[in-house]
Amino acid sequence: MTAPVRSNSIMQAAVFHGHERITIERIAMPDVAKGEVLVRVSRTALCGSDFKLWHKGTQFTAGHEIFGVVEQPGHPMHGKRCAVYIPVHCDRCAACRRGDTQMCLDVSSLIGWNRPGGYAEYVPVPENCLLPVPDDIEDSLAPLLLDVIGTSGHAVRFASRIVPSGESGPVLVTGAGPVGLGVVLALKSFGYDDIRISDPNTARLNIAQSFGARPHPVGDTSQRFALIVECSGAHAARNLGIEVVLPHGALVLVGENAAPWTIAEGPVFRRKDFYMIRTFYFPIKDFAPNIELLRRYREEYRVLVDGEFGLATLPENFARFAQGELIKPVLALD
């Protein structure tokens, strides 16, 4: 279905110039291609992976944890509340047919990265990237279904096939950011009952403890673990994971880091069998169980959303977020 022409329409959007500078500007409404719909953005959660855009700038509107309402008169989804699945995918390649929509072999495009995202009033979205959100999920929690719940839930589902909860013993989570805290809740839902977490931020450790995890000293090598979920992206934490993962255990790399990482192939690395796993985002088929995770731990997820503000104050609030003052703030556009 071809979208209505909006060439003369103007919207407000955040422009990331680089050098930690964001301005709010009036720009043209985005083009809506065949097979896409326009979504009026209601909430977009801020994400630490956007720091690189804050530093370096981007030609596209940033923001990739998006929830809004389809605004496409005549379309079957018009008026529907939807989260936006960021990996654009073809639904035809071998990966998509297998259900691995986040790893499409034919399309390599992410909403909010190399096409317009959700720090704006409107965003164009491919029809197969619309994820309907039930009415009992409040607007401000809906974006958490994506990175915070989706990424963490996928990582734990993957790891549980290799190190099941009944065989894991204590589990170590490194990094108590939004995804690390999401991993704690996902681990609980899968029956892991001895969860340790390390992070230098005392406030975030306190939240992890309220979720049922126990603090573990940063950099400690006195204990080994069959399952380690690395959520910080810090090279030191990755190297620590290699050192303290037990033989036949699994180190799951969830956190991101654009800087090159060199693995030293010393005796610790060479002399044991272990799994080192990288997981990315989540397949669309996980969305229904992600909703159930949110329903189960709704009060805990509410703790993470510790700021809500309009587009006009995004620049200063993004700076606060970058300084670690906020955990998972949400841009509210309605």
pLDDT above 80 (res 3): no
Do 50 and 119 belong to one domain? Answer: yes
Confidence band of 8 (pLDDT split at 50, 70, 90): low
Q: Is residue 283 part of a domain?
A: no
Do 18 and 72 belong to one domain? Answer: yes
Domain coverage including residue 69: 10-140+305-332
Eight-class DSSP state of 147: I
pLDDT tens, residue by residue, 170-217:
999 999 999 999 999 999 999 999 999 999 999 999 999 999 999 999
Q: Is residue 5 part of a domain?
A: no
Do 155 and 269 belong to one domain? Answer: yes
Q: Is residue 292 part of a domain?
A: no
For range 4-8, the mean pLDDT: 46
Do 45 and 136 belong to one domain? Answer: yes
Do 198 and 132 belong to one domain? Answer: no
Q: Is residue 14 part of a domain?
A: yes
Percent of the chain with pLDDT over 70: 98
Eight-class DSSP state of 273: -
Do 45 and 113 belong to one domain? Answer: yes
Do 272 and 180 belong to one domain? Answer: yes
Q: Is residue 288 part of a domain?
A: no
pLDDT of residue 334: 79
Do 133 and 193 belong to one domain? Answer: no
Do 38 and 94 belong to one domain? Answer: yes
Q: Which two tokens stand for residue 198?
A: 């390390």
**How many domains does one find in the chain?**
2
Question: Treating both helix axes as pointing N-terminal to C-terminal, what angle do 152-160 and 287-296 enclose, rounded to 10 degrees?
Answer: 100
pLDDT above 90 (res 5): no
pLDDT tens, residue by residue, 128-163:
999 999 999 999 999 999 999 999 999 999 999 999
pLDDT tens, residue by residue, 97-126:
999 999 999 999 999 999 999 999 999 999
pLDDT above 70 (res 4): no
Do 136 and 101 belong to one domain? Answer: yes
pLDDT of residue 258: 86
Do 133 and 156 belong to one domain? Answer: no
The enclosing domain of 214 has a CATH number of 3.40.50.720
Q: Is residue 291 part of a domain?
A: no
Q: Is residue 160 part of a domain?
A: yes
Question: Treating both helix axes as pointing N-terminal to C-terminal, what angle do 202-210 and 178-189 enclose, rounded to 10 degrees?
Answer: 20
Confidence band of 2 (pLDDT split at 50, 70, 90): very low
The enclosing domain of 129 has a CATH number of 3.90.180.10
Do 270 and 155 belong to one domain? Answer: yes
When the pLDDT of each residue in the chain is averaged and rounded to a whole number, the result is 95
Pick from 104, 139, 111: nearest CA to 126: 111
Q: Is residue 180 part of a domain?
A: yes
What b-and-e string marks burial along 289-301, b requiring 16 or more CB atoms within 10 Å of the CB? bbbebbeebeebb
